[in-house]
Amino acid sequence: MAWDFETDPAFQEKLDWVRAFVEEELIPLEPIIGDFTPQQWREVQEPLKQQVKDQGLWACHLEKELGGQGFGQLPLAQMNLITGRCPFAQEIFGNMAPDSGNSELLAEGGTHEQKEKWLWPNLRGELRSAFAITEPFVASTDPTQITTSAVLDGDEWVINGRKWMITNASIADFIIFMVVTDPEEVVYKRCSMIVVEKGTPGMEILRDIPTMHHPHTEYGLIGNHAEVLLNDVRVPRDNLVGERGGGFILSQVRLGPGRIHHATRWLAEAERAFDMLCERTKSRTSFGKGYEKHQMIQEYIADSRMELEMARLLTLRAAWKMDRDGHHAARADIAMVKVNNATVLYNVIDRALQVHGSLGYSCDMPLELMYRSARMAPLVDGANEVHKVTIAKEELKRYAAVDGWPSEHIPTRREAARQRFAHLLEARG
Ligand SMILES: Cc1cc2nc3c(=O)[nH]c(=O)nc-3n(C[C@H](O)[C@H](O)[C@H](O)COP(=O)(O)OP(=O)(O)OC[C@H]3O[C@@H](n4cnc5c(N)ncnc54)[C@H](O)[C@@H]3O)c2cc1C
């Protein structure tokens, strides 16, 4: 019988613990994070991570049989709906992107040696990682266009190319690169994944790219996005992850679950903005009445609540389907969650910011940072437009072309209906 986690008191206790831990230990740290050096920040995190490990909640994204603490997508979604309230909670819970996706990838496609060398230390939080597909000179929403190449020379791959926007590359101990190994093959068999370790000659981290989220970026901070040059980088042949030419298939293992994990946490962040929206509404008056009596503000709240509830149910259904039918079968559901939650996140933060007026725009509130950061949601994990293509393709599988549409089709249907229901027409007289 399936585990009924919704009524399992032990699991509900765990969720209560997560809720209290996020609210009381993590969120209060937020205002002073910028005051820590990267080294101090690592030291601050250690005891917090230990508490999570003591609760058996570390690295829950990965199923137990793959080496994590995981318990399935649906219970994980319940947890992410809480941890997503704090932007750095995923790091404290050991399921931070891109490490989480990379651990899924290595668990699925890695050899025993690769797991020993990279996966287990990564899961223990001892090694950091990055994942590199995107390139500056080609539209990387279509990764079949990437040009970074790897050529076998004896027992070594020789890699040349340039990647950019690679999250955590400047602090990563190893980076998994998507590269072209078989240019003569059919498109979906051209690419493979190869690991390059930090310090390998020829790999140069050119810069951490300033972004909307981190405009004044400091080199080497977690969550930054780097530009990486590969110039005759040589790595052992055994650094190939999975099969040669299997890069695109393997990337689906990594990207599918990762997308829903991020999109679930966006909802938690949106819920936090919703709390601020409602607290502000209850605390302020204008034109002789409380904000709660202004109908346009009521509409903001009602729209936000409806969007959040629809998104939550869509998300939980997708997670349930992943557990029941597998990631591939749920790909359109995951795409819907990704697109929809990105929009809901942005909408709710925008309304909360608006109702906070100048305070919302100021850096005294976290809303301006949340707003800037939310703009990445429609772009990352595949542009929303591309996910909509997936959704539309799945939907259209259930339909066929209609012959003679519309000039012949409509009269034919009318004639068929007349004949079939002649007795009804006769009865009418
Ligand atoms: C914060 C952040 C972190 C990132 N981290 C990583 C990382 O760790 N590793 C990594 O490899 N990449 C990372 N990326 C890159 C990200 O995956 C790419 O930006 C994304 O895949 C889009 O590729 P592109 O930037 O080349 O844009 P393009 O491919 O040029 O696309 C730009 C826009 O064109 C439009 N478009 C493209 N194709 C279609 C279509 N078929 N139909 C309709 N419209 C379309 C969309 O509006 C799309 O947003 C990150 C990006 C950001 C913003």
Residues 311-331 pLDDT 10s: 999 999 999 999 999 888 999
Closest ligand 1 atom, residue 168 Cα = 8
Ligand 1, pocket residues at CB < 6 Å:
98, 131-134, 139-141, 165-167, 225, 376, 379-380, 383, 385-386, 389
Write down the pLDDT at residue 70. Answer: 72
Continuous segment of H or E residues that includes residue 182? none
Lowest-confidence segment of 34-38, 206-210, 353-357, 415-419 by average pLDDT = 34-38
Question: Could you tell me which of 104, 109, 99, 92 has the C-alpha nearest to residue 57?
Answer: 92
The alpha carbon of 406 and the centre of ligand 1 are apart by a number of angstroms equal to 39
Closest ligand 1 atom, residue 132 Cα = 11
- What mean pLDDT is predicted for residues 108-136? 94
Residue with tokens 């079968």: 329
- What mean pLDDT is predicted for residues 259-264? 93
* Cα torsion through 256, 260, 265, 271, rounded to 10: 160
The alpha carbon of 386 and the centre of ligand 1 are apart by a number of angstroms equal to 10
- Tallying the residues shown for the chain, one arrives at 429
Distance from the Cα of residue 210 to its chain's centroid? 21
* Cα torsion through 199, 204, 208, 209, rounded to 10: -150
Question: Does residue 347 contact residue 374 with C-beta atoms inside 8 Å?
Answer: no
Q: Is 151 helix (H, G, I), strand (E, B) or coil?
A: strand
Pairwise CA distance, residues 334 & 315, whole Å: 8
Pairwise CA distance, residues 282 & 193, whole Å: 53
Write down the pLDDT at residue 220. Answer: 58
Pairwise CA distance, residues 398 & 28, whole Å: 50
Architecture of 9-123 per CATH? Orthogonal Bundle (1.10)
Kindly list the distances between the CA atom of residue 236 and the CA atoms of 12, 112, 159, 167, in Å, as whole numbers in the listed order.
47, 16, 11, 24
Question: Does residue 204 contact residue 229 with C-beta atoms inside 8 Å?
Answer: yes
Report which residue type is found at 154. Answer: G
Write down the pLDDT at residue 3. Answer: 58
Percent of the chain with pLDDT over 70: 96
* DSSP designation for 70: B
CA angle (265, 270, 271) in 5-degree steps:
95
Q: Which CATH class is domain 251-396?
A: mainly alpha
CA angle (220, 222, 226) in 5-degree steps:
55
Please give the structure tokens belonging to residue 408.
């012949």
Best of 248, 379, 385, 387 to mutate for ligand 1, by most ligand atoms within 8 A of CB? 379
Q: Which residue has the higher pLDDT, 179 or 71?
A: 179
pLDDT band at 217 (very low <50, low <70, confident <90, very high): low
- What mean pLDDT is predicted for residues 389-416? 89
The alpha carbon of 380 and the centre of ligand 1 are apart by a number of angstroms equal to 6
Pairwise CA distance, residues 269 & 274, whole Å: 9
Pairwise CA distance, residues 141 & 226, whole Å: 18
Write down the pLDDT at residue 367. Answer: 96
Best of 96, 102, 128, 134 to mutate for ligand 1, by most ligand atoms within 8 A of CB? 134
In sequence order, what DSSP letters do the residues of 75-105 get, joined into one string? HHHHHHHHHTTSTTHHHHTT--TTHHHHHHH
Please give the structure tokens belonging to residue 344.
């809901």
Sign, Cα dihedral of 208, 212, 216, 221:
negative
The alpha carbon of 131 and the centre of ligand 1 are apart by a number of angstroms equal to 14
Residue 72 has pLDDT above 70, yes or no: yes
Taking CA atoms only, the protein residue closest to ligand 1 atom 36 is 385
Residue 1 has pLDDT above 60, yes or no: no
What is the per-residue pLDDT across 330-346, written as a single tens digit (0 to 9) for each? 999 999 999 999 999 99
The alpha carbon of 147 and the centre of ligand 1 are apart by a number of angstroms equal to 16
Q: Which residue has the higher pLDDT, 155 or 31?
A: 155
Taking CA atoms only, the protein residue closest to ligand 1 atom 12 is 134
Burial class (CB in 10 A: 0-12, 13-18, 19+), 73: buried
Q: What is the mean pLDDT of the chain?
A: 92
The alpha carbon of 212 and the centre of ligand 1 are apart by a number of angstroms equal to 15
Sign, Cα dihedral of 412, 413, 419, 425:
negative
Closest ligand 1 atom, residue 130 Cα = 8
The alpha carbon of 428 and the centre of ligand 1 are apart by a number of angstroms equal to 62
Percent of the chain with pLDDT over 90: 74
pTM of the model: 0.91
The alpha carbon of 240 and the centre of ligand 1 are apart by a number of angstroms equal to 25
Question: Could you tell me which of 97, 69, 90, 89 has the C-alpha nearest to residue 169?
Answer: 97
Any bridge partners for residue 67, and if so which? none
Q: In the chain, what are the domain boundaries?
A: 9-123, 129-241, 251-396
Pairwise CA distance, residues 269 & 121, whole Å: 29
Pairwise CA distance, residues 89 & 80, whole Å: 9
Write down the pLDDT at residue 219. Answer: 56
- What mean pLDDT is predicted for residues 159-183? 96
Pick the CATH number of 129-241 from 2.60.40.10, 3.30.460.80, 2.40.110.10, 3.40.50.1000: 2.40.110.10
- Secondary structure of 354-367 in HEC code, one letter for each residue: HHCHHHHHCCCCCH
